[in-house]
Structure 1
Amino acid sequence: MNQNMVRKKFVHPTVQKRIAAGSKQTLSVIVYSQGRCDHIRECIQQAGGKIKYELPAIHAIAAEIPAESVDQVAAHHMVQFINDDAKVFKCMDFASLAANASLANEAGYTGKGVGIAILDTGVYPHYDLVRPTNRIIAFKDFINSRPQPYDDDGHGTHVAGIAAGNGFSNERYKGIAPEANIIGVKVLDEEGSGTTSDIIAGIQWVIDNKEKYNIKVVNMSFGSPADNSHRDDPLSRAAAAAVQSGLTVVVSAGNSGPNARTITSPGITPSVITVGAVDDNRTSTYADDFVADFSSRGPTPSGGIKPDVVAPGVNITSLSNTGPTAYVSHSGTSMASPMVAGVAALMYEQDANLSPSSVKNKLMNTCVAIGEPKTAEGSGIININKALGVEDITPSQGSPQPSSPRPRFGRSRRQNPRMGFDSSLLALLFLFL
């Protein structure tokens, strides 16, 4: 097979373009093996490549390879494909409704002991996460290799608070699973961006440490443009491997709506729970809820229907990295995703033997549809109370919510003028992909 045929068959188009442009630099790539990582390690090194990570979850190696040597590597009989090590970005929109986790918490479900891995910009030790007990039980930094928890952007802290803040500084902004443990995995830098290989290395670390920290749920509020099938996309393959290992993986859909086919990777992965964002108009009725304009729409490049579910994602107040008692409001699918991750943690507390597919199916089968296309809302808005089998409440139709309240996941469409909304159920936080 001649060089051009090898390149066309085994090298990603983006990498091909960089080679064709005469680049003299090293290229950041992910090299897939036909077998194990050690089958291709020597060939990469012999081509002058520098290995960044070995990624056994997807049988690949992330490396820096001189542009003129890529064809040499691609021609090796054990190399399956060479992909671009693409940039990945947080899903924050610069621009609540359905979550009543308080009822579930009062029924005894708080996520106690369940580990939620937050792959993001880091986690700041906000009082709502470390007091009265430090629930940031592990921290791994793939950007700066620092040992102690920190967040030089703020996105990851906001996400963690939505999923598991306990309201220590302000009860109003309590998260969905206020006694869950947080495992912070920093894979994005101070600007909220990172490389595909750093993220896959983070996923690999979570897989390898899930038993040690009782990690049941992984949240990824970021995305990269999806121009490949999920079968060929590196992030998607890694996310699928995490699910296969027994982890429930929750990811944001992306903030590139309202156009069709804008779901980002790893949200295109069939087995993960992909979450879009709704605007609840700060009322306690579903009737005026709609999918946020920025929320990415399906289908995926493979024709799959995504998102799977939607959750509140507009003007969500959660933890800030600017101080131990500070809060901030953000919008985006990044905020909707950790809400669902928190609900998954509650479900694992209720039944530790659930499989990832059981969690996903139960969430999707108990959603409330709001009348938008499946490619916009998926199965609808998650209903936490129904998913957990907790007795529902009936708030008064259309009653206003205070600024940035806790999302309420079990609202009823029925009107009951004698039952006002219980203000003690208010409190929450949010962020976007």
Structure 2
Amino acid sequence: MLTEGYDWFRSSSKLDSRLKKELLTTYGELRGIPCIFQQKWLRLATRFKKYPVIITCRDGLAEEDWTEVEKIITQCGCKRGKRFPGLGMATMVVNINAMQKLIDCRQVVRITYDREIKALLHVAAPTVKADFLWEQKYTGKGIRVAVLDTGVYPHPDLIKPNNRLVGFVDLVKNKSQPYDDNGHGTHVAGCIAGNGQQSQGKYKGPAYGADIIGIKVLNKFGDGSLSTVISGINWCINSKEKIHAICMSLGSPAESPAQYDPVCQAVRKAWQKGIVVCVAAGNDGPQERTIASPGIEPAVITVGATDDRRTSDRQDDLVASFSSRGPTIDGIVKPDVVSPGTGIIALLSPGSFLAKTLKEQKIGEWYLPMSGTSMATPIVVGLVAQLLEQHPNWSPDQVKEELLAKAEDMGVSAFHQGQGYVRIDK
């Protein structure tokens, strides 16, 4: 295999499209280098130019096979990262030499660029009829929901009168105490399980009795990496305490089919392990084919947003203009359902990035209105928690079937609304 040519990576089915673009950029730098120096530059580039990647290996990989993969990394002077044996993945920082050898390694199925992933930010509970189950005393009590986001601040609506922020994992700064320096994750947690403590019950989520585990995978500015998000999902799968649902109001442009997307593979595994996963569709509408990853994963519940026009009457609702539309990169119908996602009032994290940048929109000391499929998704997660309290033995598939069966058709394309407006009172 000649390093000088482009064919080794252009023709490889093991490299994702983003990684190929990065390699093309590297090789494109040759154009500005005199011919007599190009060979030397290539030798240096193949050794010292590094790429953060996620290596996906075949299912059921034995320990000795992992050793073979890691041996390649070590021999090429590259850095081994974190392994996720249950997912068949590992994070690594590799050079071109290592990449060429990994392509030829029979154990390696896919090499994905560890690209950026972002928080998807762009009157709700009564609109989806959460109060129907409130009347039957279902508030999500005993259900543990993991919020993979920017963290969760210990807001009074989550910790009073009883502390329901029962866990916190920081995969960004490794702090032990819960915090949210961005504010997005706290707002999301409130959309799920805020109890309205500071608003006399006015601003509360569908599952105001549920427990929250904050898993910080995004930084102060709402940015993160695929590998950090996968770490968060892996934590949920292996948690000693049962995690019933995962809320992921985050995403990145879908660049590979779900079959090869590492975050899709991770949420699929969580689903198979009995965890209901709800994912934001994305905020790149109204164009079609804009569903973000991991919302393209067929198994999970992908949520689009509606504009409820600040009323609880569904008759005047529209699919929000920003809500991403299907079909997915694989051609399947997504989102699965839609839910209120405009001007949603929920919890504020004091001193956070969003508290400072949106300070003029604050409602009192403790609340903030925000819009996006980021807000629509946790409302659906709240409904999921209510259903799981009511039907504790239901599988993720049964929960999804119930939500889709009761969704109300809005009279628009399935690529815009999925099965329709989520509701649980039918």
TM band (smaller chain): 0.7 to 0.9
2:336 is aligned, of 298, 308, 312, to 308
Aligned residues: 382
Equivalent residue, structure 2, for 1:91: 120
Deviation string, structure 1 residues 252-283 (Cα, Å, up to 9, x no partner): 00000000000000000000000000001123
Equivalent residue, structure 2, for 1:277: 305
Deviation string, structure 1 residues 151-195 (Cα, Å, up to 9, x no partner): 010000000000011111111011110110001111111110100
Question: Residue 370 of structure 1: CA displacement?
Answer: 1.0
Tell me, what secondary structure is at the counterpart of 2:127? Answer: coil
1:77 aligns with 2:76: no
1:175 aligns with 2:205: yes
1:12 aligns with 2:37: no
Deviation string, structure 1 residues 15-72 (Cα, Å, up to 9, x no partner): 2333341454321101111352742233223222222221234311111112443212
Equivalent residue, structure 2, for 1:131: 160
Q: TM-score, normalised by structure 2?
A: 0.86
CA distance in 1, matches of 2:312, 2:225: 40
CA distance in 2, matches of 1:168, 1:152: 22
CA distance in 2, matches of 1:359, 1:143: 32
Deviation string, structure 1 residues 82-139 (Cα, Å, up to 9, x no partner): 111111011111xx46223233223110111100000000000000011111111111
2:235 is aligned, of 196, 205, 216, to 205
1:348 is aligned, of 369, 388, 408, to 388
Q: State whether residues 113 and 179 of structure 1, in contact with CA within 8 Å, keep that contact through their aligned partners in structure 2.
A: yes
Question: Residue 234 of structure 1: CA displacement?
Answer: 1.1
Equivalent residue, structure 2, for 1:358: 398
CA distance in 2, matches of 1:74, 1:254: 32
Q: Structure 1 stretch 97-106 or stretch 140-149: which is displaced more?
A: 97-106
- Opposite residue 208 of structure 1, the aligned amino acid is N
Q: State whether residues 37 and 56 of structure 1, in contact with CA within 8 Å, keep that contact through their aligned partners in structure 2.
A: no
Equivalent residue, structure 2, for 1:245: 273
CA distance in 2, matches of 1:362, 1:103: 15
Q: State whether residues 333 and 415 of structure 2, in contact with CA within 8 Å, keep that contact through their aligned partners in structure 1.
A: yes
Deviation string, structure 1 residues 329-373 (Cα, Å, up to 9, x no partner): 000000000000011011110111100010001000001111111
1:32 aligns with 2:56: yes
Equivalent residue, structure 2, for 1:375: 415
Q: Structure 1 stretch 355-364 or stretch 324-333: which is displaced more?
A: 324-333
Q: State whether residues 162 and 176 of structure 1, in contact with CA within 8 Å, keep that contact through their aligned partners in structure 2.
A: yes
Q: Structure 1 stretch 278-287 or stretch 195-204: which is displaced more?
A: 278-287
Equivalent residue, structure 1, for 2:147: 118
Equivalent residue, structure 2, for 1:384: 424
Equivalent residue, structure 2, for 1:421: none
- Opposite residue 224 of structure 1, the aligned amino acid is S
- Opposite residue 78 of structure 1, the aligned amino acid is Q
Equivalent residue, structure 2, for 1:185: 215
Tell me, what secondary structure is at the counterpart of 1:173? Answer: coil
Q: Tell me, which stretches of 5 or more residues in structure 1 are unaligned?
A: 387-433
- Opposite residue 193 of structure 2, the aligned amino acid is A
Equivalent residue, structure 2, for 1:230: 258
Q: State whether residues 56 and 262 of structure 2, in contact with CA within 8 Å, keep that contact through their aligned partners in structure 1.
A: no
From the superposition, tell whether residues 37 and 250 of structure 1 become closer, same or farther in structure 2 (CA, over 3 Å): farther
Equivalent residue, structure 2, for 1:293: 321
CA distance in 1, matches of 2:208, 2:416: 29
Question: Residue 12 of structure 1: CA displacement?
Answer: 2.4
CA distance in 2, matches of 1:262, 1:243: 23
CA distance in 1, matches of 2:311, 2:194: 23
- Opposite residue 69 of structure 1, the aligned amino acid is A
CA distance in 2, matches of 1:45, 1:295: 44
Equivalent residue, structure 2, for 1:152: 181
Q: Report percent identity of matched pairs.
A: 41
Equivalent residue, structure 2, for 1:45: 74
1:162 aligns with 2:202: no
- Opposite residue 120 of structure 1, the aligned amino acid is D
Tell me, what secondary structure is at the counterpart of 2:244? Answer: strand
Q: State whether residues 127 and 325 of structure 1, in contact with CA within 8 Å, keep that contact through their aligned partners in structure 2.
A: no
Tell me, what secondary structure is at the counterpart of 1:342? Answer: helix
Q: Structure 1 stretch 294-303 or stretch 63-72: which is displaced more?
A: 63-72
Q: State whether residues 101 and 176 of structure 1, in contact with CA within 8 Å, keep that contact through their aligned partners in structure 2.
A: yes
* Aligned pairs for 1:326-337 within 5 A: 326-337=366-377
Highest RCO, 1 vs 2 (Cα 8 Å, sep ≥ 6) = 1
Question: Residue 325 of structure 1: CA displacement?
Answer: 5.3
2:138 is aligned, of 84, 109, 118, to 109
- Opposite residue 36 of structure 1, the aligned amino acid is L
CA distance in 2, matches of 1:372, 1:57: 40
Tell me, what secondary structure is at the counterpart of 2:134? Answer: helix
CA distance in 1, matches of 2:74, 2:274: 34
